[in-house]
Amino acid sequence: MTLQLAHAWLLTALPLPLFIRFLLPQARQSSAGALRVPFYAALMQGQTNTGTRSRRWQSLLAALAWLLLVLAAARPQWLGEPLPLPLAGRDLMLAVDISLSMTEQDMIIGGRVVDRLTAVKAVAGDFIERRAGDRIGLILFGQQAYVQTPLTFDRATARTLLFESAVGLAGRETAIGDAIGLAVKRLHDSPAEERVLVLLTDGTNTAGNIAPLKAAKLAAEAGVRIYTIGVGADPRSAIGRAMRRTPLDERTLQAIAQQTGGRYFRARNVDQLQAIYGMLDELETVQSDQQTFRPIRELFGWPLAAALLLSALVAIGRAELLKQYRY
């Protein structure tokens, strides 16, 4: 952090009271008195010494108050560390299937067989982390579809909420059309130039209130491009035969992507899934120009408050001094 003065040129006003004191003529003091007391000098000697010291302190406090007042006018500020600005990228919704079929353990990570949702979390989490400049939203769907994360620049939160998702939270079946319809609703009024939905599923639409192709038509009319990803091992492979066969409606997923100007991808293993997200990074590139801003914290209130306090003390001191001379 850095301390700076927004209007440093105002510090040139500091010697102004000295100029006024030396340039303006002093006020004349009258020596006439209505009553002469022989012991007046001795009576007032103690009060004079006390008054002199009091005036010196008042002058010192007044000078300090003026210094603080000029400092407040110069607007001292704390300048924070540079922070990256959200870039004018795109709004990207990620719709992830969490129906019961995503428990199929036909994916391999690090030599260990894992279920489909675990593999999706690992790869999609890295994809979210790389989307600097984009607003990311997360939709989870099974028998129902719901927004887990609204569109946000906070990629860390979106990633965390993806990792916290679990199979069965939205029901056992798969409502692909509802997931698309919900994403379109969230993206429809978006001011972003690019609106994208990445939909990931391993099955067929078996639930919901809207057909997938009808939802895709609505997406195309709203200017939302959809990339669909079919997940799961090929049933003909050894690991695929070991699991119960879950039908994947590739034809519908291809039609959804084609109708909205996107693409369909098939991910039979983690490597293919990673490659797909790598291609999405190339297809939906983010802007590389980085802009930053430095947060500013205004500090002028502190010297201003101190100047007002000192001014009040000077006024009180002068009032007390006048009382002494009066009596």
Q: What is the average per-residue pLDDT within 2-27?
A: 83
Sign of CA dihedral 275, 232, 121, 251: positive
Report pLDDT digits (tens) over 93-141: 999 999 888 888 878 877 788 888 888 888 888 888 888 778 899 999 9
Of 127-141, 212-226, 299-313, highest mean pLDDT: 212-226
What values do phi and psi take at 217, rounded to 5? -65, -45
pLDDT score recorded for residue 109: 79
DSSP for 197-247 reads EEEEESS---S-SS-HHHHHHHHHHTTEEEEEEEES--TTSHHHHHSPP--
In the structure, what pLDDT confidence band is assigned to residue 242 with cuts at 50, 70 and 90?
Answer: very low
**232 pLDDT above the threshold of 90:** no
Q: Comparing C-alpha atoms, which of 82, 117, 122, 142 is closest to residue 231?
A: 117
Mean pLDDT (the chain, rounded)? 81
Output DSSP code: residue 267: E
pLDDT score recorded for residue 140: 94
pLDDT score recorded for residue 273: 84
Between CA 243 and CA 16 the distance in angstroms is 88
pLDDT score recorded for residue 238: 46
Q: What is the average per-residue pLDDT within 78-103?
A: 79
**34 pLDDT above the threshold of 70:** no
pLDDT score recorded for residue 197: 93
Q: Would you state the structure tokens that stand for residue 3, as one six-digit string?
A: 């301390």
What values do phi and psi take at 146, rounded to 5? -145, 155
In the structure, what pLDDT confidence band is assigned to residue 26 with cuts at 50, 70 and 90?
Answer: low
pLDDT score recorded for residue 245: 52
Q: Comparing C-alpha atoms, which of 123, 65, 54 is closest to residue 94?
A: 123
Output DSSP code: residue 312: H
Instruction: Considering only residues 213 and 274, tell me which one the structure prediction assigns the higher pLDDT.
Output: 213
Report pLDDT digits (tens) over 244-295: 555 788 899 999 999 999 999 888 878 888 888 888 877 766 554 455 667 7
Contact (Cβ atoms closer than 8 angstroms) between residue 19 and residue 72: no
Output DSSP code: residue 32: -
pLDDT score recorded for residue 321: 65
**17 pLDDT above the threshold of 50:** yes
pLDDT score recorded for residue 258: 94
Share of the chain above pLDDT 90, in %: 29
Share of the chain above pLDDT 70, in %: 79
pLDDT score recorded for residue 38: 52
Instruction: Considering only residues 232 and 200, tell me which one the structure prediction assigns the higher pLDDT.
Output: 200
In the structure, what pLDDT confidence band is assigned to residue 31 with cuts at 50, 70 and 90?
Answer: low
What values do phi and psi take at 239, rounded to 5? -75, -30
